[in-house]
Structure formats: structure tokens, C-alpha cells
A and B are shown apart, each in its own frame.
Chain A
Amino acid sequence: MNKTNPKTFSRLMLWEIEGCLNLPTLLLIVASAIVAVLIQSSSPRSLSNSYINLYDGASIIFLILTLVTCTLFSHSFAGSLGKGELKRILSYPVKRWQVFTSKIIALTLIVFSVYASAFTLNLYLSSLSPLEPMFYISIFTMFLHLLLVCAVSVGISIALRSELMSTLASFLLLFGLDMAFDYRSYLSSNGRFTYIFSYFQQVFHPNFSYSILEPPATAQQALISIATPLFVVAIVLIGVFVYFTRKMEVD
């Protein structure tokens, strides 16, 4: 009794991915990622410093990534709750944790894959080597930001149960934080990226001629910048997970 089909989780994930790979949704993600990378502002720099273009263009990428991720997660959680799709899925022999985690993993994978792929355009645009470590540091920071947006929009989706409202609420909350706090705050995506980028700039380019932050970030600042979103993600997702799997009513 209560024995779950071991393949159910992967099937639910494939289902979610298949749903996302339909033209309008896929087009939205791909187009937004390419636009985000192409419209970033970059200044002419020497080849040895061209990796700094990755930092200069990050804010616009974070902004568009926030908007797209909020839209997708709100659609998947609040949208399916509001329209009755989740009710139908939870009427099949599936566990609630399987539905919850499969949605999160599938959507995160898709958005990250598309954005990371589009981000590789930077290698060409800024004439960077594929082995440039700051490129991978930037992608890692983007992933951290994606996780944060995912957690916030899932939490707000479950609370509001309205696709439009949760898209707006989660985007405005994250956008508002970015606007309210400057590039030296752990609460803004730019601030965290600045600390992480600045610290690793010293590590991988010790002879840098131009620093994005004066004085350069310390290891502690970089660590806090990594830990802050991870901490928020863990707290929010664990809370929402417990509520979703144990208490949430689907009517």
C-alpha cells in the first residue's frame, strides 16, 4: 500500500518539460534570453579586460531573467491552481512532493539551459576564451539569481493562487529590491553579483588594471553574497514544500 511508481517522478518532469517546449513558451524563453544578452551595454576594452563586459551587462540580464522566471513559475503554480489543472494532476496516483519538485526542477532546468546557452554569445561578443573563469562565475551567479526568483515566485504563487497577481507581485518585489538597494547591498542582485565578481576577479585576474569595486570585495563578502540567496531559497522552498505536501487544499 502507498507504494509509488518509481518512474512517476520522471514522467511528471517530462510532462512539465514537454509543456514548456511548446512554441509560445519556448519562444518566450529563448527570445528573452537572446535579447537580454544582445542588448547589454558593453564598452570597448582591451582583450585582457574584455571579461569585464560580463559584469557590465549583468543587470539587464538579471532584470529580464527575473521577469521571465516569475512569469513561468507563476503560470506553472498559480496558473495551474487557479485553472484546475493541479486539481486534475493531484487526482492521479501521484504524490504531492513529486508534483512540486518535478515542476521546480523541470522549469529551473529549462530556464537555466536556455539562458546559459544564450549567455555563451558573450564569448563571441566580448572575444572571450571559452576557458575564461569569469564567464563561469557569471553563469553561476545567474543560477543563484534564478533559484532566488524561483523560490520567491513559487511562494507568492501558492499564497495568492492568481497567475497575474503572483507574476506582478514577485516581479515587483524582486525588481523593487534591486531598485531600493545599490550595488553594495546583499539585498540587490547587482550587489551580490558585484561582490562575487569583484572577489573572483582578484582570484583569477590578480594583475587586473581595472577593478569593478574599490576596495575589491573580500572572501567573506563573496561568501555572504552566495549564501544570502541560498539561505532565502532554502527557507522559502522548505516552507512552501511542507505547506504544499501536507496542508494545501486544492479546491
Chain B
Amino acid sequence: MEDQIIKTTNLMKTFGKVTALNDLNMQAPKGISGFIGKNGSGKTTTIGILLGLIQSNGGTATVFGLDCWHDSFEIRRRMGVMHETNVYPGSFSGQRFLVHVAKLYGISQINPTVNELLKDVGLTYAQDKPIKTYSAGMFKRLGLAQALIGSPEMAILDEPTANIDPLGRITLLKKIKDMHEKHGTNFLISTHILSDLEKICNWLIIIDQGKIVDQGYMNNLTEKYSASIYKIEVSNPQVFAETIQKLDTVDKVWIEGDKVFCKVNNPEVFNEDIPKIASKLKLRLKSFQQMLGTLEEIYTQTVGEKPT
């Protein structure tokens, strides 16, 4: 695949006897990539390896084609990072802190850059207040500002919208999208809030137990996973579910309210079978439709449970 910014091949990482990453093959092209998985699935370890903070036990990891451990300085020079934990010098004002960070990146026009970023993330009103007085949402905004300082080629954001009120989340997501559209900044966003990713991501990576269970462009994944889920409304859902469960074309059946859901492995045959079965059971088939895949459904199918 062309234009891949992040690529890992058979990446391994163990902490003592615990295997954190197990032959991880991950790719992220240009654009906004979502990185999802359960707690402890290996997301933060992967990010640590990409930043050169953690050394892998095997395999390769590259960002911009550079080795993540040996060339980590060059990678970090071209990348902004927002970690999940927000530890900033509490006695500094937000502006003073960003000026320090801007100097580390060697930015020439420091004050205009910092002021613009503060305005973009909506922190201008608190720029002179000590960071220790900031709320959780303000910490996140500050974190995003320091990750975007100097318009990096790529920014890795770990849980950027956690603990932020709905309006703040919308603003942050809009800022991320704007940065990508206006400056071409690429993003890798690790989060549990799937609805946030749905709004902005074009590429999705799903990790579970240290392995990539699936990855690809959002529309492809949506198509791939939605095609196999059906929602059926019949007059007697219980009887209908018990019957279709026995079909070879059906992998899984469940009932939600008065609707029957099923995952099938051969949609073409299943499409023909359903009306026949309903007729045979003398049930009224009220509706019968393929589900439009949401990110939550994709996640549920690949990882096997709701996101935590």
C-alpha cells in the first residue's frame, strides 16, 4: 500500500511473562486513522514503540519509513503526541508551557504560533492561569495544543476526547479535521469513544490481545461487516430465531426487543431463504433488511464484545 506512514511487521513485545504484542502487523496511511481495542489490548504499548519509548522484542516498526527505536529522535521531530495521562508543570501558565514546548521544536515565530493554537483549541481565556487550576477538559485542550505545535506531519492522540463535555468534544474533533484538511496533518487516534472516530476517521485499525484483528478504510470495513448482519421483524421472533439458527448460512442469532438479528455467511442464499422460512412457519414477515454497519458493530464483530 502506498503512502503508509506507520508500518509494523510481526511486532512482538513482552513484559516478563505477559505478551503485550503478538506478531502485530499494523499499517496506517495518510489521513486520520482510528486505533481501537479493549483495555489492555496493546494500544498504548504500540504507541510507546512507535515513539521510541519502548523497545520491541522482535519484528519491525517504522514511522515515515524510519526505525522507531534507532531513529526515534527524527520521528519525534516530525510528530506531535498527546498522551492519555496529562502531566504538565502545574505552576506554569498554559501559554508559558506552550512557549517552552515551541522552543524545543525550534519554532521561530513562537508567540504568534502559541497564541493561534490557544485560540484554536479554545484556551485563550485561560492562557495566563496556572495549569494546576485547569479542568479535565482544559487539560485535554492543552494536550492537543502541544501535540499540534509546529504543524507536525503526524500527531498521535491517545484518548483525546475522554473527560470532555459534548460541546468540547465536537470542537476538538472539528479542530482535528481542520488540521488535516488545512495543513495535511495526519492523525492516529486511540480512543474508546467509537462515535468520535466515525465522524472523522478514514482508516480504522482494530487490535485485540496484541494482534490486529482487522484494518482498512472505513467504508470498506463498513461494507465488509454490514453485509453479513440482518435485522428481521416477524410476528413471532422466538420461533423464527430458533428455526434460522439451524441454517448452515447463519453463524449467530440474537434477539433485541421484538427484532431478530443474525450474522450470516452467505447473504445471497439467505436472502432467498428468509421469505420461504417465514411462509413455512406461517409467520408474518414485517421487515427484513441488511444492517448498515456502524463502528460499534464492526468492533463487536471483530473483537467479540462491546468496547470498554
Contacts and interface: CB of A to CB of B under 8 A. Distances in A.
Interface in B101-132: 101, 103-106
A243 interface: no
A251 B73 contact: no
Max chain A Cβ within 10 angstroms of own Cβ: one of B44, B48, B55, B73: B73
B54 A249 contact: yes
Nearest to B76: A93
Interface stretch (B85-93, B224-232, B256-264, B288-296): B85-93
A31 to B, nearest CB: 18
Contact of A251 (B45, B76, B103): B45
Max chain A Cβ within 10 angstroms of own Cβ: one of B44, B77, B85, B105: B77
A93 B91 contact: no
B123 to A, nearest CB: 17
A139 B88 CA distance: 35
Interface residues of A, number: 28
A209 interface: no
Contacts of A22: 91
Interface in B35-75: 44-45, 48, 51, 53-55, 71, 73-74
Contacts of A7: 103, 106
Contacts of A11: 100, 103-104
Contacts of A83: 85, 87
Contacts of B89: 15, 18-19
Q: Would you call the interface of chain A mostly helix, strand, loop, or mixed?
A: loop
A41 B88 CA distance: 42
Interface residues of B, number: 26
A157 B88 CA distance: 20
B197 interface: no
Nearest to A14: B100
A88 B83 contact: yes
A4 interface: yes
Interface in A20-71: 22
A39 to B, nearest CB: 30
Contacts of B85: 83-84, 87
Contact of B54 (A12, A92, A251): A251
B5 interface: no
A177 interface: no
A84 B143 CA distance: 13
Contact of B81 (A15, A85, A91): A91
A104 B247 CA distance: 70
Interface in A64-96: 80, 83-85, 87-88, 90-95
Interface of A: 1-2, 4-5, 7-8, 11-12, 15, 18-19, 22, 80, 83-85, 87-88, 90-95, 247, 249-251
5 contacts: A7-B106, A88-B81, A93-B76, A93-B106, A94-B73
List of 5 A-B pairs having minimum Cβ-Cβ separation, nearest first: A93-B77, A84-B85, A91-B81, A22-B91, A85-B87
Interface of B: 44-45, 48, 51, 53-55, 71, 73-74, 76-77, 81, 83, 85, 87-89, 91-92, 100-101, 103-106
Given A18-B92, A87-B53, A88-B88, 4 more contacts: A15-B89, A19-B89, A84-B87, A93-B105
